[in-house]
Structure 1
Amino acid sequence: MSVEDDRSAVPLVLLTGPLAPAGSVLALRTALERLGSVLTPALPLTPARPADLSRPALAVLAAVSAANADGAVLCGIGLGAMVALQVAATHPRRVSSLLLCTAVQPASATVRSVHQGMTGVLPARVLQLLPGGRPQAVAALDQVRRPDYLPLTPLVTPPAHVLYGEHDRLNDRASRRLAHALPNATAVAVPGCGPGWLTSQPDRYAEAAARCLRGW
Protein backbone atom coordinates (compact mmCIF):
# COMPACT_ATOMS: atom_id res chain seq x y z
CA MET A 1 0.00 0.00 0.00
CA SER A 2 1.45 3.38 -1.00
CA VAL A 3 1.47 6.52 1.09
CA GLU A 4 -1.06 8.06 -1.29
CA ASP A 5 -3.55 5.30 -0.39
CA ASP A 6 -3.80 6.77 3.12
CA ARG A 7 -4.96 10.26 2.18
CA SER A 8 -6.58 12.01 5.11
CA ALA A 9 -10.18 13.16 4.85
CA VAL A 10 -9.35 16.19 7.00
CA PRO A 11 -6.51 18.67 6.45
CA LEU A 12 -3.13 18.19 8.05
CA VAL A 13 -1.73 21.23 9.84
CA LEU A 14 2.08 21.39 9.88
CA LEU A 15 3.29 23.35 12.90
CA THR A 16 6.96 24.12 13.47
CA GLY A 17 8.96 26.48 15.66
CA PRO A 18 10.17 29.93 14.58
CA LEU A 19 13.76 28.68 14.20
CA ALA A 20 12.91 25.85 11.79
CA PRO A 21 14.75 26.30 8.44
CA ALA A 22 12.35 27.26 5.64
CA GLY A 23 13.80 24.58 3.38
CA SER A 24 13.11 21.76 5.83
CA VAL A 25 9.57 23.02 6.46
CA LEU A 26 8.91 23.04 2.71
CA ALA A 27 10.30 19.52 2.36
CA LEU A 28 8.08 18.26 5.18
CA ARG A 29 5.03 19.95 3.68
CA THR A 30 5.75 18.44 0.26
CA ALA A 31 6.06 14.98 1.80
CA LEU A 32 2.85 15.38 3.80
CA GLU A 33 0.90 16.55 0.75
CA ARG A 34 0.94 12.95 -0.41
CA LEU A 35 -1.40 12.26 2.52
CA GLY A 36 -3.86 15.10 1.96
CA SER A 37 -4.22 18.85 1.98
CA VAL A 38 -1.64 20.54 4.21
CA LEU A 39 -2.02 23.86 6.02
CA THR A 40 0.98 25.82 7.28
CA PRO A 41 -0.45 28.79 9.19
CA ALA A 42 1.93 31.54 10.23
CA LEU A 43 2.31 31.29 13.99
CA PRO A 44 2.88 34.43 16.10
CA LEU A 45 5.71 32.72 18.00
CA THR A 46 9.03 34.06 19.20
CA PRO A 47 11.85 32.10 20.86
CA ALA A 48 11.92 34.75 23.57
CA ARG A 49 8.32 33.99 24.61
CA PRO A 50 7.85 30.23 24.16
CA ALA A 51 5.12 30.05 26.81
CA ASP A 52 2.73 32.36 24.91
CA LEU A 53 0.62 29.74 23.12
CA SER A 54 -2.84 31.29 23.05
CA ARG A 55 -2.33 33.48 19.96
CA PRO A 56 -0.63 30.71 17.94
CA ALA A 57 -3.49 28.36 18.86
CA LEU A 58 -6.04 30.88 17.58
CA ALA A 59 -4.07 31.16 14.33
CA VAL A 60 -4.32 27.39 13.86
CA LEU A 61 -8.08 27.40 14.47
CA ALA A 62 -8.51 30.29 12.02
CA ALA A 63 -6.60 28.39 9.33
CA VAL A 64 -8.74 25.28 9.83
CA SER A 65 -11.93 27.36 9.64
CA ALA A 66 -10.68 29.12 6.50
CA ALA A 67 -10.22 25.69 4.91
CA ASN A 68 -13.91 24.97 5.64
CA ALA A 69 -12.93 22.01 7.81
CA ASP A 70 -14.51 20.99 11.09
CA GLY A 71 -11.30 19.41 12.34
CA ALA A 72 -7.72 18.63 11.43
CA VAL A 73 -4.72 16.42 12.10
CA LEU A 74 -2.15 18.55 13.91
CA CYS A 75 1.44 17.71 12.98
CA GLY A 76 3.45 19.53 15.63
CA ILE A 77 7.25 19.59 15.62
CA GLY A 78 9.36 21.15 18.36
CA LEU A 79 7.68 24.30 19.62
CA GLY A 80 4.92 23.54 17.09
CA ALA A 81 4.09 20.46 19.16
CA MET A 82 3.40 22.75 22.12
CA VAL A 83 1.00 24.76 19.96
CA ALA A 84 -0.70 21.54 18.88
CA LEU A 85 -1.14 20.53 22.52
CA GLN A 86 -2.62 23.95 23.32
CA VAL A 87 -5.17 23.62 20.51
CA ALA A 88 -6.06 20.05 21.51
CA ALA A 89 -6.40 21.01 25.18
CA THR A 90 -8.63 24.03 24.59
CA HIS A 91 -10.57 22.94 21.46
CA PRO A 92 -10.49 19.12 21.39
CA ARG A 93 -13.49 18.86 19.04
CA ARG A 94 -11.50 20.66 16.34
CA VAL A 95 -8.65 18.11 16.50
CA SER A 96 -9.00 14.69 14.85
CA SER A 97 -5.59 13.47 16.01
CA LEU A 98 -2.07 14.58 16.84
CA LEU A 99 1.30 13.69 15.31
CA LEU A 100 3.98 15.13 17.57
CA CYS A 101 7.78 15.34 17.47
CA THR A 102 9.83 16.74 20.33
CA ALA A 103 12.72 17.74 17.99
CA VAL A 104 15.23 18.36 20.77
CA GLN A 105 18.53 19.61 19.32
CA PRO A 106 22.08 19.13 20.64
CA ALA A 107 23.26 22.18 22.56
CA SER A 108 26.24 24.16 21.32
CA ALA A 109 29.18 25.00 23.58
CA THR A 110 27.75 28.47 24.21
CA VAL A 111 24.31 27.10 25.10
CA ARG A 112 25.81 24.51 27.42
CA SER A 113 27.95 27.14 29.15
CA VAL A 114 24.91 29.34 29.79
CA HIS A 115 22.91 26.42 31.11
CA GLN A 116 25.73 25.39 33.41
CA GLY A 117 26.08 28.98 34.57
CA MET A 118 22.43 29.23 35.48
CA THR A 119 22.56 25.84 37.19
CA GLY A 120 25.44 27.14 39.28
CA VAL A 121 23.57 30.42 39.94
CA LEU A 122 26.31 32.60 38.51
CA PRO A 123 25.83 36.38 38.63
CA ALA A 124 24.32 37.99 35.54
CA ARG A 125 27.55 39.92 34.94
CA VAL A 126 29.31 36.60 34.35
CA LEU A 127 26.75 35.53 31.76
CA GLN A 128 27.15 38.88 30.01
CA LEU A 129 30.80 38.05 29.35
CA LEU A 130 29.70 35.37 26.86
CA PRO A 131 30.23 36.13 23.16
CA GLY A 132 27.37 38.35 22.05
CA GLY A 133 26.60 39.64 25.53
CA ARG A 134 23.13 39.63 27.05
CA PRO A 135 21.12 38.98 23.84
CA GLN A 136 23.19 35.86 23.16
CA ALA A 137 22.69 34.69 26.73
CA VAL A 138 18.91 35.14 26.54
CA ALA A 139 18.72 33.30 23.21
CA ALA A 140 20.79 30.46 24.62
CA LEU A 141 18.59 30.17 27.69
CA ASP A 142 15.51 29.91 25.49
CA GLN A 143 17.08 26.96 23.71
CA VAL A 144 17.84 24.96 26.86
CA ARG A 145 14.69 25.86 28.81
CA ARG A 146 12.44 22.81 28.88
CA PRO A 147 8.92 23.50 27.57
CA ASP A 148 6.39 22.98 30.34
CA TYR A 149 3.74 20.87 28.64
CA LEU A 150 2.58 19.03 31.78
CA PRO A 151 -0.28 21.46 32.62
CA LEU A 152 -1.73 20.80 29.15
CA THR A 153 -1.44 17.04 28.89
CA PRO A 154 -4.36 15.97 31.14
CA LEU A 155 -6.69 18.06 28.96
CA VAL A 156 -5.58 16.54 25.63
CA THR A 157 -8.18 13.91 24.75
CA PRO A 158 -7.66 13.37 20.97
CA PRO A 159 -5.48 10.37 20.04
CA ALA A 160 -1.80 11.13 19.56
CA HIS A 161 1.38 9.54 18.28
CA VAL A 162 4.79 10.87 19.30
CA LEU A 163 7.32 10.09 16.56
CA TYR A 164 11.07 9.87 17.05
CA GLY A 165 14.02 8.35 15.23
CA GLU A 166 14.98 4.87 16.38
CA HIS A 167 18.62 5.94 16.82
CA ASP A 168 17.92 9.47 18.05
CA ARG A 169 18.90 9.10 21.69
CA LEU A 170 18.31 12.76 22.46
CA ASN A 171 14.62 12.54 21.54
CA ASP A 172 13.99 8.95 22.62
CA ARG A 173 13.45 9.75 26.29
CA ALA A 174 11.73 13.08 25.64
CA SER A 175 9.28 11.45 23.21
CA ARG A 176 8.40 8.57 25.49
CA ARG A 177 7.98 10.99 28.41
CA LEU A 178 5.54 13.11 26.39
CA ALA A 179 3.58 10.06 25.20
CA HIS A 180 3.34 8.77 28.76
CA ALA A 181 2.00 12.12 29.99
CA LEU A 182 -0.83 12.20 27.44
CA PRO A 183 -4.06 10.27 28.18
CA ASN A 184 -4.33 8.66 24.72
CA ALA A 185 -0.90 8.57 23.11
CA THR A 186 1.72 6.14 21.81
CA ALA A 187 5.43 6.70 21.27
CA VAL A 188 6.51 5.45 17.83
CA ALA A 189 10.15 4.79 16.94
CA VAL A 190 10.78 5.29 13.21
CA PRO A 191 13.15 2.46 12.16
CA GLY A 192 16.61 3.35 10.88
CA CYS A 193 16.34 7.08 11.63
CA GLY A 194 18.75 9.05 13.78
CA PRO A 195 19.36 12.66 14.83
CA GLY A 196 18.13 15.22 12.33
CA TRP A 197 15.96 12.70 10.49
CA LEU A 198 13.07 15.13 10.08
CA THR A 199 15.29 17.41 8.02
CA SER A 200 17.23 14.77 6.10
CA GLN A 201 14.43 12.22 5.59
CA PRO A 202 11.08 14.01 5.29
CA ASP A 203 9.63 11.10 3.29
CA ARG A 204 10.18 8.82 6.27
CA TYR A 205 8.14 11.24 8.35
CA ALA A 206 5.28 11.07 5.83
CA GLU A 207 5.47 7.27 5.78
CA ALA A 208 5.34 7.10 9.58
CA ALA A 209 2.46 9.59 9.61
CA ALA A 210 0.57 7.44 7.10
CA ARG A 211 0.96 4.36 9.29
CA CYS A 212 -0.31 6.27 12.31
CA LEU A 213 -3.31 7.68 10.44
CA ARG A 214 -4.12 4.23 9.11
CA GLY A 215 -4.55 3.00 12.66
CA TRP A 216 -7.16 5.65 13.54
Structure 2
Amino acid sequence: MPPYLAHEDTGATGDTGTGVLPLVLVHGHPFDRGMWAPQLAAFSAGRRVVAPDLRGYGASPVPDDTSTPLSVFADDLAALLDHLDIDRCVLGGVSMGGQIVMECCARFPGRIAGIVLADTFPAAETESGRLARAAMADRLLREGMAGYAEEVLYKMVAPYADPEVAAHVRRMMTGTDPRGAAAALRGRAVRPDYRPLLPRITVPALVVVGADDEYTPVAEARAMHEALPASTLEIIEGAAHLPNLERPEPFNAALAQWLLRTGL
Protein backbone atom coordinates (compact mmCIF):
# COMPACT_ATOMS: atom_id res chain seq x y z
CA MET A 1 0.00 0.00 0.00
CA PRO A 2 1.40 3.47 -0.83
CA PRO A 3 1.94 5.92 2.02
CA TYR A 4 -1.25 7.79 1.17
CA LEU A 5 -4.55 7.35 -0.61
CA ALA A 6 -5.65 8.81 -3.93
CA HIS A 7 -7.50 11.98 -3.04
CA GLU A 8 -8.94 15.33 -4.01
CA ASP A 9 -7.35 18.27 -2.20
CA THR A 10 -9.02 21.59 -3.03
CA GLY A 11 -9.36 25.06 -1.60
CA ALA A 12 -6.97 26.94 0.65
CA THR A 13 -3.85 25.01 1.60
CA GLY A 14 -1.05 25.76 3.98
CA ASP A 15 -1.20 28.45 6.66
CA THR A 16 -3.71 31.01 5.43
CA GLY A 17 -3.87 32.79 8.76
CA THR A 18 -7.64 32.32 8.88
CA GLY A 19 -7.67 29.55 11.47
CA VAL A 20 -10.24 27.68 9.36
CA LEU A 21 -9.74 23.95 9.75
CA PRO A 22 -9.59 21.56 6.79
CA LEU A 23 -12.72 19.54 6.07
CA VAL A 24 -11.97 15.87 5.34
CA LEU A 25 -14.81 13.84 3.82
CA VAL A 26 -14.98 10.02 3.80
CA HIS A 27 -17.17 8.25 1.25
CA GLY A 28 -19.35 5.23 1.87
CA HIS A 29 -19.60 1.78 0.28
CA PRO A 30 -19.39 1.06 -2.61
CA PHE A 31 -18.53 4.54 -3.84
CA ASP A 32 -15.52 6.80 -4.29
CA ARG A 33 -14.56 10.41 -3.62
CA GLY A 34 -16.83 11.49 -6.50
CA MET A 35 -19.75 11.28 -4.09
CA TRP A 36 -18.47 14.50 -2.48
CA ALA A 37 -18.46 16.58 -5.69
CA PRO A 38 -21.18 19.01 -4.49
CA GLN A 39 -19.36 19.60 -1.20
CA LEU A 40 -15.95 20.02 -2.82
CA ALA A 41 -17.46 22.69 -5.05
CA ALA A 42 -19.37 24.44 -2.27
CA PHE A 43 -16.78 24.58 0.51
CA SER A 44 -13.39 24.87 -1.20
CA ALA A 45 -13.85 28.62 -1.72
CA GLY A 46 -13.30 29.24 1.98
CA ARG A 47 -11.37 26.29 3.31
CA ARG A 48 -9.28 23.29 2.42
CA VAL A 49 -11.42 20.27 1.54
CA VAL A 50 -9.94 16.79 1.20
CA ALA A 51 -11.83 13.77 -0.14
CA PRO A 52 -9.89 10.50 -0.39
CA ASP A 53 -10.63 7.28 -2.18
CA LEU A 54 -10.59 4.61 0.50
CA ARG A 55 -8.38 1.56 0.12
CA GLY A 56 -9.91 -0.64 -2.58
CA TYR A 57 -12.12 2.12 -4.01
CA GLY A 58 -11.74 4.63 -6.81
CA ALA A 59 -8.11 5.28 -7.75
CA SER A 60 -6.65 3.87 -4.53
CA PRO A 61 -5.01 0.43 -4.74
CA VAL A 62 -7.01 -2.71 -4.10
CA PRO A 63 -5.89 -4.52 -0.92
CA ASP A 64 -4.19 -7.89 -1.05
CA ASP A 65 -6.06 -8.97 2.07
CA THR A 66 -9.53 -10.48 1.84
CA SER A 67 -10.79 -8.29 4.70
CA THR A 68 -10.32 -4.58 5.39
CA PRO A 69 -11.36 -3.71 8.96
CA LEU A 70 -12.48 -0.19 9.75
CA SER A 71 -9.30 0.21 11.83
CA VAL A 72 -7.24 -0.16 8.63
CA PHE A 73 -9.30 2.50 6.86
CA ALA A 74 -8.77 4.78 9.87
CA ASP A 75 -5.01 4.22 9.88
CA ASP A 76 -4.93 4.98 6.14
CA LEU A 77 -6.67 8.30 6.85
CA ALA A 78 -4.17 9.14 9.59
CA ALA A 79 -1.32 8.46 7.14
CA LEU A 80 -3.00 10.72 4.57
CA LEU A 81 -3.35 13.52 7.13
CA ASP A 82 0.35 13.14 7.93
CA HIS A 83 1.22 13.30 4.23
CA LEU A 84 -0.87 16.46 3.80
CA ASP A 85 0.52 18.09 6.98
CA ILE A 86 -2.94 18.30 8.53
CA ASP A 87 -2.70 18.20 12.32
CA ARG A 88 -6.41 18.70 13.07
CA CYS A 89 -9.50 18.69 10.90
CA VAL A 90 -13.25 18.46 10.76
CA LEU A 91 -13.90 14.86 9.75
CA GLY A 92 -17.12 13.75 8.07
CA GLY A 93 -18.44 10.55 6.57
CA VAL A 94 -21.52 8.99 5.02
CA SER A 95 -22.70 5.46 5.90
CA MET A 96 -19.57 3.27 6.18
CA GLY A 97 -17.61 6.51 6.05
CA GLY A 98 -19.41 7.64 9.19
CA GLN A 99 -18.41 4.43 10.95
CA ILE A 100 -14.82 5.07 9.88
CA VAL A 101 -15.13 8.55 11.41
CA MET A 102 -16.20 6.93 14.69
CA GLU A 103 -13.22 4.57 14.49
CA CYS A 104 -10.96 7.60 13.96
CA CYS A 105 -12.45 9.21 17.07
CA ALA A 106 -11.47 6.11 19.02
CA ARG A 107 -7.96 5.91 17.56
CA PHE A 108 -6.77 9.52 17.29
CA PRO A 109 -9.31 11.88 18.90
CA GLY A 110 -6.79 14.68 19.31
CA ARG A 111 -6.66 15.23 15.57
CA ILE A 112 -10.42 15.72 15.20
CA ALA A 113 -12.00 19.09 16.00
CA GLY A 114 -15.52 18.20 14.89
CA ILE A 115 -17.37 15.38 13.17
CA VAL A 116 -20.14 14.95 10.62
CA LEU A 117 -22.04 11.65 10.77
CA ALA A 118 -24.38 11.29 7.81
CA ASP A 119 -26.76 8.36 7.30
CA THR A 120 -24.77 6.02 9.52
CA PHE A 121 -25.20 4.09 12.77
CA PRO A 122 -22.89 3.03 15.61
CA ALA A 123 -24.02 -0.49 16.54
CA ALA A 124 -21.97 -3.60 15.86
CA GLU A 125 -23.21 -6.03 13.23
CA THR A 126 -25.75 -8.67 14.18
CA GLU A 127 -25.03 -12.35 13.59
CA SER A 128 -27.44 -12.43 10.65
CA GLY A 129 -25.86 -9.25 9.32
CA ARG A 130 -22.38 -10.79 9.48
CA LEU A 131 -23.56 -13.79 7.51
CA ALA A 132 -25.29 -11.54 4.95
CA ARG A 133 -22.17 -9.42 4.46
CA ALA A 134 -20.02 -12.51 4.00
CA ALA A 135 -22.46 -13.92 1.45
CA MET A 136 -22.57 -10.60 -0.41
CA ALA A 137 -18.76 -10.42 -0.47
CA ASP A 138 -18.66 -13.86 -2.08
CA ARG A 139 -21.34 -12.83 -4.55
CA LEU A 140 -19.53 -9.66 -5.62
CA LEU A 141 -16.36 -11.62 -6.28
CA ARG A 142 -18.31 -14.17 -8.28
CA GLU A 143 -20.67 -11.90 -10.24
CA GLY A 144 -19.20 -8.40 -10.17
CA MET A 145 -20.92 -5.17 -9.13
CA ALA A 146 -23.60 -4.65 -11.79
CA GLY A 147 -26.40 -6.81 -10.41
CA TYR A 148 -25.90 -5.57 -6.87
CA ALA A 149 -25.87 -1.96 -8.07
CA GLU A 150 -29.21 -2.35 -9.78
CA GLU A 151 -30.76 -4.01 -6.74
CA VAL A 152 -29.77 -1.32 -4.24
CA LEU A 153 -29.71 1.84 -6.40
CA TYR A 154 -33.14 3.04 -5.31
CA LYS A 155 -32.36 2.44 -1.66
CA MET A 156 -29.11 4.39 -1.93
CA VAL A 157 -31.07 7.22 -3.53
CA ALA A 158 -34.81 7.71 -3.33
CA PRO A 159 -36.94 6.37 -6.21
CA TYR A 160 -37.86 9.97 -7.01
CA ALA A 161 -34.21 11.13 -7.14
CA ASP A 162 -32.93 13.22 -10.03
CA PRO A 163 -32.04 10.77 -12.84
CA GLU A 164 -28.59 12.34 -13.22
CA VAL A 165 -27.87 11.78 -9.54
CA ALA A 166 -29.06 8.17 -9.78
CA ALA A 167 -26.87 7.65 -12.84
CA HIS A 168 -23.85 9.08 -11.01
CA VAL A 169 -24.43 6.76 -8.06
CA ARG A 170 -24.80 3.77 -10.41
CA ARG A 171 -21.53 4.67 -12.15
CA MET A 172 -19.67 4.81 -8.86
CA MET A 173 -21.03 1.45 -7.75
CA THR A 174 -20.36 -0.37 -11.01
CA GLY A 175 -16.91 1.22 -11.24
CA THR A 176 -15.83 -0.17 -7.87
CA ASP A 177 -13.46 -3.14 -7.90
CA PRO A 178 -15.32 -6.14 -6.45
CA ARG A 179 -12.22 -7.16 -4.50
CA GLY A 180 -12.13 -3.87 -2.63
CA ALA A 181 -15.88 -3.94 -1.99
CA ALA A 182 -15.76 -7.55 -0.76
CA ALA A 183 -12.85 -6.85 1.58
CA ALA A 184 -14.69 -3.86 3.05
CA LEU A 185 -17.85 -5.91 3.57
CA ARG A 186 -15.92 -8.57 5.48
CA GLY A 187 -14.13 -5.97 7.58
CA ARG A 188 -17.29 -4.07 8.34
CA ALA A 189 -18.99 -7.27 9.45
CA VAL A 190 -16.66 -7.49 12.46
CA ARG A 191 -16.69 -3.81 13.43
CA PRO A 192 -16.94 -2.93 17.13
CA ASP A 193 -19.94 -1.38 18.82
CA TYR A 194 -19.34 2.38 18.83
CA ARG A 195 -22.30 3.21 21.07
CA PRO A 196 -20.18 3.31 24.26
CA LEU A 197 -17.80 5.70 22.45
CA LEU A 198 -20.42 8.30 21.55
CA PRO A 199 -20.80 9.92 25.01
CA ARG A 200 -17.02 10.38 25.11
CA ILE A 201 -16.95 12.35 21.84
CA THR A 202 -17.13 15.88 23.20
CA VAL A 203 -16.24 17.81 20.03
CA PRO A 204 -19.10 19.36 18.05
CA ALA A 205 -20.99 16.80 15.99
CA LEU A 206 -23.43 17.20 13.13
CA VAL A 207 -25.76 14.24 12.60
CA VAL A 208 -27.48 14.27 9.21
CA VAL A 209 -29.99 11.82 7.77
CA GLY A 210 -32.23 11.62 4.74
CA ALA A 211 -35.88 11.56 5.77
CA ASP A 212 -36.55 8.52 3.55
CA ASP A 213 -33.40 6.53 4.36
CA GLU A 214 -34.23 2.82 4.71
CA TYR A 215 -30.69 1.73 5.61
CA THR A 216 -30.28 4.15 8.53
CA PRO A 217 -33.71 5.47 9.49
CA VAL A 218 -34.28 8.78 11.21
CA ALA A 219 -34.71 6.96 14.54
CA GLU A 220 -31.08 5.79 14.32
CA ALA A 221 -29.92 9.36 13.74
CA ARG A 222 -31.96 10.63 16.68
CA ALA A 223 -30.41 8.01 18.95
CA MET A 224 -26.89 9.06 17.91
CA HIS A 225 -27.77 12.71 18.36
CA GLU A 226 -29.03 12.03 21.88
CA ALA A 227 -25.90 10.05 22.78
CA LEU A 228 -23.42 12.67 21.55
CA PRO A 229 -22.81 15.43 24.13
CA ALA A 230 -22.50 18.32 21.64
CA SER A 231 -24.50 17.40 18.58
CA THR A 232 -26.92 18.93 16.11
CA LEU A 233 -29.47 16.86 14.18
CA GLU A 234 -30.50 17.74 10.63
CA ILE A 235 -33.13 15.74 8.73
CA ILE A 236 -32.97 16.31 4.98
CA GLU A 237 -36.38 16.03 3.38
CA GLY A 238 -36.65 14.50 -0.08
CA ALA A 239 -33.62 12.26 0.30
CA ALA A 240 -32.75 8.67 1.14
CA HIS A 241 -29.27 7.33 2.02
CA LEU A 242 -27.14 9.92 0.18
CA PRO A 243 -28.60 13.35 0.98
CA ASN A 244 -25.33 15.12 0.15
CA LEU A 245 -25.90 14.07 -3.48
CA GLU A 246 -29.69 13.91 -3.63
CA ARG A 247 -30.31 17.27 -1.96
CA PRO A 248 -26.94 19.07 -1.95
CA GLU A 249 -28.39 22.54 -1.31
CA PRO A 250 -30.04 21.80 2.06
CA PHE A 251 -27.21 19.46 3.01
CA ASN A 252 -24.59 22.12 2.28
CA ALA A 253 -26.65 24.79 4.05
CA ALA A 254 -26.91 22.64 7.17
CA LEU A 255 -23.19 21.92 7.11
CA ALA A 256 -22.27 25.56 6.52
CA GLN A 257 -24.51 26.79 9.35
CA TRP A 258 -23.10 24.20 11.74
CA LEU A 259 -19.50 25.08 10.85
CA LEU A 260 -20.25 28.76 11.40
CA ARG A 261 -22.13 28.23 14.64
CA THR A 262 -19.45 26.00 16.16
CA GLY A 263 -16.57 28.18 15.01
CA LEU A 264 -15.07 25.38 12.98
State the TM-score bracket (shorter-chain normalisation): 0.5 to 0.7
How far does the alpha carbon of each residue in 1:115-138 deviate from its partner, in whole angstroms, 9 at most, with x for none? 69x79xxxxxxx89xxx699679x
TM-score by length of 2: 0.56
Distance 1:77 1:35 in 2: 22
Equivalent in the alignment of 1:178: 224
Alignment check: 8 A CA contact 1:92 1:158 kept: no
How far does the alpha carbon of each residue in 1:184-214 deviate from its partner, in whole angstroms, 9 at most, with x for none? 3232223x43324322222332221111111
For residues 107-126 of structure 1, what are the structure 2 equivalents within 5 Å?
none
* Aligned residue identity for 1:15: V
* Aligned residue identity for 2:73: P
Distance 1:133 1:168 in 2: 24
Equivalent in the alignment of 2:35: 24
Equivalent in the alignment of 1:55: 72
Equivalent in the alignment of 1:110: none
Check if 1:37 corresponds to 2:82.
no
Alignment check: 8 A CA contact 2:211 2:239 kept: yes
Q: 1:35 to 1:210 in 2, by over 3 A?
A: farther
Check if 1:207 corresponds to 2:258.
no
Runs of 5+ unmatched residues, structure 2: 1-17, 57-62, 122-127, 149-181
Query: How far apart are residue 182 of structure 1 and its match?
Result: 2.5
Query: How far apart are residue 44 of structure 1 and its match?
Result: 2.7
* Aligned residue identity for 1:176: R
Equivalent in the alignment of 2:21: 10
Q: 1:42 to 1:135 in 2, by over 3 A?
A: same
Distance 1:77 1:29 in 2: 15
Equivalent in the alignment of 2:118: 101
Q: 1:134 to 1:19 in 2, by over 3 A?
A: closer
* Aligned residue identity for 2:100: V
For residues 43-192 of structure 1, what are the structure 2 equivalents within 5 Å?
43-44=54-55, 49=67, 52-102=69-119, 148-166=193-211, 168=213, 171-190=217-236, 192=237
Q: Over aligned residues, Cα RMSD in angstroms?
A: 3.8
Query: How far apart are residue 85 of structure 1 and its match?
Result: 1.0
Q: 1:8 to 1:80 in 2, by over 3 A?
A: farther
Q: SS where residue 229 of structure 2 aligns? A: coil
Percent identity among equivalent residues?
Answer: 24
How far does the alpha carbon of each residue in 1:12-58 deviate from its partner, in whole angstroms, 9 at most, with x for none? 00101240265433333323324521112332368x857x1222112
Alignment check: 8 A CA contact 1:8 1:36 kept: no
Distance 1:188 1:40 in 2: 22
Distance 1:187 1:15 in 2: 19
How many residue pairs get matched? 186
Distance 1:82 1:35 in 2: 27
Equivalent in the alignment of 1:108: none
